[in-house]
Amino acid sequence: MLVPASIVGLIVFIYGLATMSTDPTSNEICGKDGDLIMCPQCDELCTYWRLNTSCLYSRVTYTVDNPATIFFTIFMALWATFFMEFWKRQQARIQYDWDVADYEEAEQSMRPEFQANAQNKKKNPITHDYEPYMTMWERGLRIMSSLMFIFFLLLVVLAAILAIIIYRIFVVVLIYNSPDQLIKSQASLITTVTAACLSVIVITLLNKVYEKIAVFLTDREMWKYQTEWEDSFTVKMYLFQFANYYGTIFYIAFIKGRMQGSPLHYTKLAGRRLEECDPSGCLTELAIQLAIVMVGKQALNNFKEIVIPILVKLFKSRKGRKKIETDDDKYTSWERDYDLVDFPVHGLYEEYLEMVIQYGFVTLFVAAFPLAPFFALLNNIIEVRLDATKMITQWKRPMADRAQDIGTWFVILQAISKMAVLINAGIIAFTSDFIQKSMYEYTDVKQDTGQSYIEWSLSTFRTSDFDNESMPIPAFENATFGDTIYANHVCRYRDFRNNPNSSTWDDSDPSTQYVLTKTYWHVLTARLAFILVFEHLVLGIAELINFLVPDVPIDVRDRTLREKFLAKVSLHERIKHQKESDSAEVVGTTF
């Protein structure tokens, strides 16, 4: 299924590269309109800078923020719907072939741990045998205690994410304090790359700790059947992984650049200003974060899956290798088999988790990273061969285990598919500049204001209004653009706020100074309207597809009905034959 998604994603990316030079916004930033003095991006240590220094950044942003992005987002939402429908059909076919459609209801056995620890006995209404059971009150207390602990662990994850955000804030300040002008100009890019690498390390470390805690909590809940235990464990782990992998991405997509305030009153965290987006938007940072976390995670997993089993096997087989070297004895085949790596305790859980996390990257944030399906496809091609090598040459042969379906993983996939529509709509509306660019181009704004898009989308601030904490150091006369700034007394920043040169500005009335303008509310209304229309349109089409595509293939349905019909006929014939035998026996006895 990743093949068509990868092809379309590559086409969208190539379209962005091919039409990069025709983007009006980038041309304005890189041309004469970009010769604007921008307000400092941090307190004290940052100085003024010219808009055209972000020329390259704006060009790169266009490759992921262009008209084709909307089409690709809709395509991926429908792709996810078809994926789920095809999965249900394939699942129905496998259930029929292996005769496991009713396995969970009729055939699965009770967990030995539950049998050993359950204190109560209850008569089974089907078998009429007395078997262990747990009261609803006791089960509820155990689940509630688990939920409270999980909530605490999620707060720990959020604390780690907050620490990375604070790291970003302080690193930006340090980079802007560098004497190298080139490093200063790439402060945002450097911060994003290093923070993303740090996120991968933190994610990997927290995963190991949380997995052990999740196993302990799930064991305490004392589930009766193995499928129930696996479903509970899966939900715990995925909630943690969701916050762990996607937390920083959500911050860049929906928080960064939205809460920084204005130069008059900046919003601060740990005594420092919150990060700002580049004038061309935060979408490039989001794409970089996605690429590093997604590709880095996949590379680490592949390295771990192939290298660790080899090292474990080499360590366990060192005695056998010594036998060969000394010629004392042979390193027999059964000894070599014994020295293979044990099959994981949780079976293929790690493989499922890796694919579901990847599915989230491909669907939830695809509006910001059209190449996500392509990188996922490359990873999976490699992953198939690595898994084959690992399972055939490094692992012991696993015990066969029956299953009716993939359990709660399918519910998680369905939830991701629904969430992806809303999240991508939010990325297009709030993270990208698609809405406000469309308003500028296709409404009367351009004619009414007579301004370029850059002039229209940037507000003006009087440098004399900076407070002492935000005032750049050194002072105006020693600043990078000293004479120009001192003469103009203004800088520009990304927002729609009242300007000192507007007709509604009153120096004697603070309520008119730097307040949000009507344009801001018009743009916000358009963004919310876009989310509403986009979500209803895409989900409506998805529901139509769900209705039109049957969950069970017609041939499987017909064969199932045929088997049920033959079973009824067989039962009817057996009852009829039994009645005839009973009648003959009665007649014979009477005679």
- Block residue for tokens 């399972």: 391
What is the distance between the alpha carbons of residues 528 and 430, in angstroms, rounded to a whole number? Answer: 9
- Greater model confidence, 258 or 429: 429
pLDDT tens, residue by residue, 178-230:
666 666 666 666 777 777 777 777 777 777 788 888 888 888 888 888 888 88
- Greater model confidence, 530 or 175: 530
What pLDDT sits at residue 483? 42
For the chain, give the number of residues: 591
pLDDT tens, residue by residue, 401-459:
788 888 889 999 999 998 998 998 888 888 888 888 888 887 777 667 677 888 888 88
Q: pLDDT band for position 125 (50/70/90)?
A: confident
Do 473 and 46 touch, CB atoms closer than 8 A?
no
What is the distance between the alpha carbons of residues 573 and 578, in angstroms, rounded to a whole number? Answer: 8
Does the pLDDT value for residue 377 go beyond 90?
yes
Q: Which residues of 73-101 are buried (b: 16+ CB within 10 A; e: fewer)?
A: bbbbbebbbebbbebbbebbeebbeeebb
What pLDDT sits at residue 496? 86
Mean pLDDT on 544-567: 87
What is the distance between the alpha carbons of residues 371 and 8, in angstroms, rounded to a whole number? Answer: 9
What pLDDT sits at residue 416? 92
What pLDDT sits at residue 146? 85
- Block residue for tokens 């007649």: 587
What pLDDT sits at residue 182? 65
- Greater model confidence, 86 or 194: 86
pLDDT > 90 fraction of the chain, expressed in percent and rounded? 9
Do 296 and 202 touch, CB atoms closer than 8 A?
no
Does the pLDDT value for residue 499 go beyond 50?
yes
What pLDDT sits at residue 585? 66
Angstrom CA distances, 234 to 204, 210, 227, 261, stand at: 18, 12, 10, 40
Where on the phi/psi map is residue 466: left (φ > 0), alpha (ψ -120 to 50), or beta?
beta
What pLDDT sits at residue 319? 65
In the 3-class helix/strand/coil scheme, how is 344-397 assigned residue by residue? CCCCCHHHHHHHHHHHHHHHHCHHHCCCHHHHHHHHHHHHHHHHHHHHHHHECC
Long-range residue pairs from 477-483, CB within 8 A, at least 24 positions apart, any chain? 479/47, 479/48, 480/47, 480/48, 480/49, 481/37, 481/48, 481/50
pTM recorded for the entire structure: 0.82
Phi then psi for residue 161, to 5 deg, are -65, -40
- Greater model confidence, 482 or 500: 500
Domain range annotation of the chain: 111-280, 553-591
SS3 state at 331: coil
What pLDDT sits at residue 413? 92
Do 104 and 225 touch, CB atoms closer than 8 A?
yes
Does the pLDDT value for residue 328 go beyond 70?
no
- Greater model confidence, 116 or 181: 116
What pLDDT sits at residue 479? 45
What pLDDT sits at residue 10? 92
Q: pLDDT band for position 63 (50/70/90)?
A: confident
Average pLDDT over the chain reads: 80
What pLDDT sits at residue 482? 43
What is the distance between the alpha carbons of residues 87 and 71, in angstroms, rounded to a whole number? Answer: 24
Do 269 and 167 touch, CB atoms closer than 8 A?
no
What pLDDT sits at residue 5? 93
What pLDDT sits at residue 485? 44
pLDDT > 70 fraction of the chain, expressed in percent and rounded? 88
What is the distance between the alpha carbons of residues 174 and 193, in angstroms, rounded to a whole number? Answer: 15
CA quadruple 15, 17, 18, 20: dihedral positive or negative? positive
What pLDDT sits at residue 178? 66
pLDDT tens, residue by residue, 513-532:
788 888 888 888 999 999 99
The amino acid at 554: I
Q: With 0-12 CB in 10 A as exposed, 13-18 as middle and 19+ as buried, what is 234?
A: buried
Mean pLDDT on 464-484: 58
Q: Return the axis-axis angle of helices 554-590 and 67-98, rounded to nearest 10°.
A: 20
What pLDDT sits at residue 4? 94
Phi then psi for residue 60, to 5 deg, are -65, -40
- Token reading at 304: 């771990």
pLDDT tens, residue by residue, 262-279:
777 777 776 677 777 777
SS3 state at 206: helix
Please give the angle made by the CA atoms of 563, 566 and 567, to the nearest 5 degrees. 85
Mean pLDDT on 298-307: 78
β-pair partners for 268: 273
What is the distance between the alpha carbons of residues 284 and 277, in angstroms, rounded to a whole number? Answer: 10
Half-sphere exposure of 220 (CA within 13 A, CB side): 15
